[in-house]
Structure 1
Amino acid sequence: MSAARLLAAIPVLLALAGCQPAAEAPPRAVRPLLSMVIQPVATAEASFVGVVSPRISVTQAFRVGGTLINRAVGLGDQVRAGAALADLDATTLDLAVETARANLQAAEAQYANAAGAEGRLRALTESDVTTVANLQQAEQQSAAALANVVQARSRLTQATEQRSYASLAAPFDGVVTAVGAEPGAVVAAGQTVLTVARTDSRDVVIDVPESFVHNLAVGTVFRVAPQLSPATVVEGKLREIAPEADPVTRSWRLKIGIDAPPPQFWLGTTATASLAAASADVVIRVPETAIRRVGDASSVWVVDPAANVVNARPVELGAAADGQVEIRSGLAAGERIAVAGVNSLVEGQRVAKAGEPQ
């Protein structure tokens, strides 16, 4: 075939090609899908075992060092506010008080002499018997003597205060929970001698996981019962939440306050603290793998049972624990959602029916 005939045939071939029907886009393949039907679950009561501890516990120590010569109370003794607890050998402190008192008396005598001399010179100056310079010198000596009196009086006050540090008194009504030194021992300033705890208010100290503590606030009411007397149930209010988790156990420490505790709540005994379920009896929980997160927004893929397609549904999340997350709003019982591959699905994508081969 010549070149001229080939060129003449090209338009005909192009026209014939344009008459052929356009090829249809291949249908999107049905996507196998791992899904589940939403089933609400009943909320269970959360219980934790803790220890009954004093809300206020104060260590008692001397502010000066010395030999412990007397300890009036022992472990477990009840004490009243102001009662004597322990005493140091105060011989050295007594001597310091006597020395300071004697120095004060000497300073006062010197000031009396200086003041008398100043008065006599003032009278002589008025009679022109002595010079003004002598009077001014006497005034300076009198002022210096007065300053010595003030200094000596301050030292006596200080020595008396130091003497009072040789005795310990109970700061409030309570019980002795620890003993740190025995009579005859030499103790340093600040060394613990006794520990006194109040008995009118106590705490139940418990450790809880991170997933539990985020739903709590100060003032939350717990039901507390000692394990040795489970029938003795009282209400306690959450008083303190640890600012950070324990670095080893990763648990958070809570202190539940109990005012006017019954006798069964002995210090150091174990107790169970229970948090009743919320007013709603059921909650919806889904696997965390079902949550699709885009920025701050969270959604799940809901399967349309009629068209077998997935649609994104915004949801509000609650607490998460053990691979499950609570859905506060956005889902209803009986709906089917995707629980795997949520980041590879697209809006309106067809999926295999539940139970059909995938």
Structure 2
Amino acid sequence: MRRVHVYGASLVCLSLMLAACQKQDEAAKPEVIRPVLSTTVKSQSLQIRGFAGKVEPRFQTQLGFRTLGRIVRRDVSVGDLVSNGQEIAALDPLALELAVQAAEASLSSARAQLVNAASTEDRQKALLSKDSSTQATFDEAQQANAAASAAVVRADADLTKAREELGYAVLRSDFDGVVTSLQADVGQTVTAGQLVAVVARPDVREAVVDIPEAVANPIKIGSKFGVSLQTDPTIQTSGVVREIAPQADEATRTRRTRITLEQPPEGFRLGTTVTAYLTTAADPRIRIPATAILDKDGKTFVWLIDEKQATVSTKEVRLEGRTNAEAIVADGLTDGDRIATAGAHSFAEGQKIKLTDGNSL
């Protein structure tokens, strides 16, 4: 009987020893520290949006000859600086020079006829005073003299016109500027008014950008923009909206906006690509990623991070809106709170975590 009691007591002691060893092993096992993606909650008072565009001149002129002809000379290339009155291109002047010569000959003939008509009138007037001629003959001489005088005026006008058209054979710049485009080459026959060259004034430059219609609606004439070079964003200037397209482009649904640059640096050359920045009031509501939301027992929570203790705890929030990408928090969070942005359904209350880099909202 004593042997049975001793054997039972031994079993109990052995069980207690195994349990104690198991507890020691669990206590010795290190706690798992979980890395977590996080972000700091921050509401925005201002919003900055950028729009790509390029630098264009405010004033530019499309130049073309005012008469038909074949180009025999072109004195400039794209990018050349030209001064007021400088020759850009020229037509073959032969036909126009012949027209001038013909007009000069016509004027000489008209003047000779006028001299003859004037002499005839004077002679008929003298004869009429001596009753050696009739009044009708004198009237005819007088009318011939007047017609000859009118012919001289007409021939003189034709000569002036021919000389002016000869001047049209040379295409000149109307102001100091830079050649931005050439549309005709030597040997090409052009019609009157056909585009040959485009000359721009580089002194007044604009940033031309296409802004989405939804964003462009609040923009007004005189709105301020910041503008920087895309090749070197450190080179910056400011600008004022001068013109907004009244209607959006049917294909892109954007409205072309012209921003006059204020004292732009040298780097803002014509054709340079730029980014125009618009600063507007932002939605002050707090937005967080949808992956940070924990739905539990009909309520909505986020995992609030205690950076000092390196632990997480649930925090109930009230949402104002929610999509697959983000959620708008109406109540429960304040600026500066840090929350976990991934793994919302796999945390435990008070769990130890290891922070990784996150982006501020």
Shorter-chain TM band: 0.5 to 0.7
Secondary structure of 2:253's counterpart equals coil
Alignment of 1:126-145 (within 5 A): 126-145=129-148
SS of 1:252's partner is strand
- The superposition leaves residues 88-145 of structure 1 with CA deviations (integer Å, 9 ceiling, x where unpaired) of 1100000001100110110011011101111121122122221111111111111111
Structure 1 match to 2:92: 89
Task: Give the aligned partner of residue 78 of structure 1.
Answer: 81
8 Å contact 1:200–1:261 — kept in the other structure? no
Task: Work out the CA distance in 1 between the residues paired with 2:64 and 2:283.
Answer: 54
Alignment-mate amino acid for residue 240 of structure 2: K
**Aligned equivalents of 1:123, 1:222: Cα separation in 2:** 87
Matched, 1:211 2:221: no
Give the fraction of aligned pairs with identical amino acids, expressed as a percent.
42
Deviations 1:54-74 (A, max 9, x none): 212222211112121111111
Q: 2: distance between equivalents of 1:172 and 1:40?
A: 53
CA contact under 8 A between 2:46 and 2:279: conserved in structure 1? Answer: no
Aligned to 2:232: 229
* Structure 2 contact 238–262 (Cα < 8 Å) conserved: no
1:56 aligned partner: 59
- Indicate the RMSD between aligned Cα atoms, in angstroms: 2.3
Q: 1:210 to 1:115 in 2, by over 3 A?
A: same
Relative to structure 2, which stretch is displaced further, 230-239 or 178-187?
Answer: 178-187
Q: Is the 8 A contact 1:77 1:175 kept in 2?
A: yes
Distance 1:150 1:115 in 2: 15
SS state at 1:44 partner: strand
In the other structure, the counterpart of 2:252 is: 249
> Would the alpha carbon gap of residues 107 and 283 (structure 1) be closer, same or farther in structure 2, given more than 3 Å must change?
farther
TM-score (norm 1): 0.66
Distance 1:223 1:181 in 2: 38
Pairing of 1:1-358 with structure 2 (within 5 A): 41-278=44-281, 283=284
Matched residue type, 1:137? E
Partner of 1:319: none
SS in 1 for 2:196: strand
Give the match's secondary structure for 1:124: helix
Residues 91/41 of structure 1: CA separation in 2 closer, same or farther (3 Å cut): same
Contact 1:200/1:260 (<8 A) preserved:
no
CA spacing shift, 1:251–1:282, aligned 2, 3 Å? closer
Any stretches of 5+ residues in structure 1 without a counterpart? Answer: 1-38, 287-321, 323-332, 335-358
Q: Quick one: distance in 2 between partners of 1:234 and 1:87?
A: 40
Amino acid at match of 2:184: A
Deviation at 1:40, TM superposition (A): 7.0
Task: Provide Cα deviations, 1:14-62, integer angstroms capped at 9, x if missing partner.
Answer: xxxxxxxxxxxxxxxxxxxxxxxxx975331122111111212222211
Tell me the distance in 2 between the aligned counterparts of 1:274 and 1:132.
Answer: 89
> Normalized against structure 2, the TM-score is what?
0.65
Asked whether the equivalents of residues 200 and 259 of structure 1 are also in contact (C-alpha less than 8 Å), the reply is: no
CA distance in 2, matches of 1:104, 1:48: 64
Q: Secondary structure at the match of 1:53?
A: strand
